[in-house]
A = this chain, B = another copy of it.
Amino acid sequence: MSANNQQHNMEHQRHSLAHLLGAAVMELYPDAKLTLGPAVDDGFYYDIKFTGSVSESELASIENKMRELLPTWTTVTHKEVSKEEALGHFKGNEFKEELINEIADRNEVITLYTMGNFTDLCRGGHIDDLSVIDPASFKLDRIAGAYWRGKETNPMLTRIYGLAFESKEALAHYEWQQEEGRKRDHRKLGRELKLFTLSDLVGSGLPLFQPNGMIVRKAIEDYLWTLHSKKGYSRVWTPHVAKEALYETSGHAGHYMEDMFSVFGGTSKEKFYVKPMNCPHHMQIFADNQFSYRDMPVRYFEPATVYRDEKTGQLSGLTRVRSITQDDGHLFCRPSQIGEEITTIVGIIKEFYTTMGMIDGYWVRLSLRGDDHSKYLGSDEVWHTAEKALTDICIAQNLPYTPAKDEAAFYGPKLDFMFKDAIGREWQLATIQCDFNLPERFDLSYVNEQSEKERPVVIHRAISGSLERFMGVMIEHFAGAFPVWLAPMQVSILPVSEKFADYGEKVRQALEASDIRVTLSLGDSLGKRIRTAKTEKIPYQIVIGEKEQTSNTLTVEGRNDLKLENISVDDFIARITDEIKNRTLN
């Protein structure tokens, strides 16, 4: 079975388990009213109106009931019914009645699905035989409140969540991953390691970076620029606001307006928007030049903050934010140059994620246009050319890719890169997007060998995606223990007592002179100071006592039980400088 089919099968299995949950609840709580019960990414849930309250302590008995029913659910049957028949079946359940009436109003077929003794209103999408499911591969997870159909003015329902995977082992792995993820939660570590701040006065989804967080962020940003500057990219800078006319020309106005922040000038009385992306600005930088074919490709790089509005309730830490600093870049090339340019970008992506320790198990989604062509800007011919170019590169570069129909941006097809973090969770991060539409809309051109105007192709690319989200992912990936080149503090010097403070200070100065971020830790007991250094996840601790001072050497402790003894200050500086320069993982 292919990965895609397997995915499909799990979705059906989870959907069937939602029915099983509904059946178990109705056996135990006959007065409860079932509403909607879909499959989700890690299992399933059912929203239920109970007559009384239900606590998580009752989940065990519901789960037992599910396991009891499971072996009897060997067949799945369904039938089309009339509106009246359906309403008769769910008499007294105003939620199902509402759904039935809506389906009937849309003139759609009403179907009832039966497994075991349980019949539910359903569109289908089930496995044929539930009895093949390993009873240990699923479990009920937790209870939450949820408004009927997500609307705050509707009745509050009880949502019971279940987890379900292809095997007992996969479930256990997922639970371990979740537990490990909670320990590494970047919001918790962000506070403990003083990486960033969320302020009620500034607003939700608008994180402020503390000095420690800024060291990490700047190191990542500088590294990204290093990778690009070697490949012919130039830095540009564009303002954070622009007139509506820019987005009307780009075509974003019609598609993105709802997520945009509108701006009004108190003095000028003029209207602007905070930029939701940098592309329209970069088109203006290109347009202000008269380029010839000899100048192509033209490549711009700008790590720039764009702003997109989201509902306050959906914002979280660094991963769901309103201020999004894209490591953005746009390149303008001749159609014949697409292949070479995207190959270069793929190279940058591979190098970057190798450095970050995330290259294992990555895959690429090739997002193509769907059947409803009215959703997209640009001609069929343009779409065909762009989609073929990306597909050819996937094949030529031997990328582990999966074509995904209907997933393209409105302006063009794209490659999205998925990377796994240290605990195996998958993140969509880098992207390369072809765009034949913006050059048209901004009437961009360069002069070819025949002194004629030719239209360039635009390629959008982001390697980390957004610095905020990427930082959030990195904090959890490294569990806050950043490799030396990223660590806010790289070395802690711990004299065993004040007696060795002078030698400690001498060592500190030597390290600082070599641009190493170092702190001399004095005051508290040695034990407490060592604990503090470990809590702060400082990669290297140098303990200094009589022996070290006398021999003018160091004893260094590092991660993974590393211990360096009798190492000279110069040798240690050479070692750590080398690690920083090579961005070594440790």
Query: Complex formed: what's the CA distance from A13 to B463 in Å?
Result: 64
Query: Complex formed: what's the CA distance from A270 to B310 in Å?
Result: 10
Closest CB of chain B to A193's CB: distance in Å?
Answer: 12
Query: Complex formed: what's the CA distance from A86 to B288 in Å?
Result: 58
CB contacts (< 8 Å) of A543 on chain B: these are: none
Q: A263-B261, A264-B262 are in contact. Are A235 and B215 (CB under 8 A)?
A: yes
Q: Are A206 and B241 in contact (CB-based, < 8 A)?
A: yes
Q: How many copies does the complex hold?
A: 2
Cβ-based interface call for A234 (8 A): yes
Q: Are B300 and A203 in contact (CB-based, < 8 A)?
A: no
Cβ-based interface call for A258 (8 A): yes
Q: A211-B234, A268-B309 are in contact. Are A194 and B289 (CB under 8 A)?
A: yes
Cβ-based interface call for A33 (8 A): no
Q: Are B241 and A285 in contact (CB-based, < 8 A)?
A: no
CB contacts (< 8 Å) of A284 on chain B: these are: 197, 199, 201-202, 208
Cβ-based interface call for A552 (8 A): no
Contact residue among B201, B239, B322 (Cβ-Cβ distance under 8 Å from A305) = B239
> A299-322 CB contact bits vs B (8 Å, 1 = yes)?
010000101011110000000001
Query: Complex formed: what's the CA distance from A285 to B201 in Å?
Result: 11
> A360-392 CB contact bits vs B (8 Å, 1 = yes)?
000000000000000000000000000000000
The 7 closest A-B pairs by CB, nearest first: A211-B234, A265-B309, A209-B237, A239-B323, A197-B288, A201-B246, A206-B239
Q: A197-B284, A210-B236, A210-B288 are in contact. Are A266 and B261 (CB under 8 A)?
A: yes
CB contacts (< 8 Å) of A218 on chain B: these are: 235
Footprint of B on A, CB under 8 Å?
A: 194, 197, 199-203, 206-211, 213-215, 217-218, 234-243, 245-246, 249, 257-268, 270, 272, 274, 280-281, 284-285, 287-289, 300, 305, 307, 309-312, 322-323
Q: Are B199 and A288 in contact (CB-based, < 8 A)?
A: yes
Q: Are A266 and B258 in contact (CB-based, < 8 A)?
A: yes
Closest CB of chain B to A274's CB: distance in Å?
Answer: 6
CB contacts (< 8 Å) of A305 on chain B: these are: 239-240
Closest CB of chain B to A375's CB: distance in Å?
Answer: 20
Query: Complex formed: what's the CA distance from A407 to B154 in Å?
Result: 59
